[in-house]
Amino acid sequence: MFSTSLFAEWQYVDKNVDDSEAYINPDKVKNIDGYRYFFELTNFRKKINGAESVIVYKKIDCNALRFKVLNFNWYTKRMGKGEFIDFFTSYNASGGEWVYFESDSLGEKLKETICQMNVKKTNANSVEWLKILTGDKIETYIDVNSTRNVNDYIYVWMLTNFKESFIVNEVNFLSAKVYEQIECREGKTKRLDYRFYPESMGGGEFSHSEGDEKWRYAAPGSIERQIIMTICSFFYDN
């Protein structure tokens, strides 16, 4: 779930055809590999499944009328406030596919607003954790800023919070960071580095463990496959 305290300044853009209100957060716009990544907040005119607003993380192509939805967070009150209801990644929202919008639409106005901003290329040395999966026992994040595509392999730092501590070498840990190499077309991953932490979100002194050179294949429909699809949607058109 996004912490709405991180979004103190929402900029109003326009109303949609259903009278819902669209906002963006200009301070959080990222320029990564020629695409813009941004948060859009929508206030609904009427509740949708108990939600009055939703915060969506999107990737937009400034050279075409298209965007990708990377994840959703739904809230019971307007402006992303109230109780957090639910979370969806691109895999179960739009399959990570491009969504095309018409000229003179709200989508085009959002595109013009975002793409006209003077946004510097994101510094890969800074860290910004984006939640891509939530479950009964774990929460998984990726570091958006350091994620890179090199020779058709995706390299990404992932962080997992565990609801219950686990034990490694007789030490209790609540979170772990893994540096992954991902091959999107075959749906396989290689874990290059492990780090285990005694506190959530990588807090406390870590215990290091070397990765390995073994490829792991994610079964269709599995959580691992969902994570791979979400990460790969940052870089590939389909």
Print the domain residue range for 52.
4-115
Q: Are residues 55 and 140 in the same domain?
A: no
Stronger pLDDT, 205 or 73, i.e. the higher one: 205
Token pair 């979170």: residue: 175
Q: Are residues 52 and 83 in the same domain?
A: yes
Q: Are residues 146 and 225 in the same domain?
A: yes
| pLDDT tens digits, 214-230 | 899 988 878 788 888 88
Instruction: State the DSSP string of 136-164.
Output: SSEEEEEETTT-EEETTEEEEEEEEEEEE
Contacts of 51 (CB under 8 A, 6+ apart): 44, 74, 75, 76, 85, 86
Q: Are 140 and 157 in contact (CB under 8 A)?
A: no
Residue 123 lies in a domain: no
CATH, residue 48: 2.40.128.710
> How many separate domains does the chain show?
2
pTM of the model: 0.60
What pLDDT is recorded for position 41?
94
Residue 182 lies in a domain: yes
Q: Please name every residue paired with 225 in a beta bridge, in sequence order, or none if there are none.
A: none
Q: Are residues 9 and 94 in the same domain?
A: yes
Q: Please name every residue paired with 188 in a beta bridge, in sequence order, or none if there are none.
A: 183, 217
Q: Are residues 89 and 136 in the same domain?
A: no
Averaged pLDDT for residues 88-109 = 71
Residue 238 lies in a domain: no
| pLDDT tens digits, 4-37 | 444 458 999 999 888 999 999 988 888 877 789 8
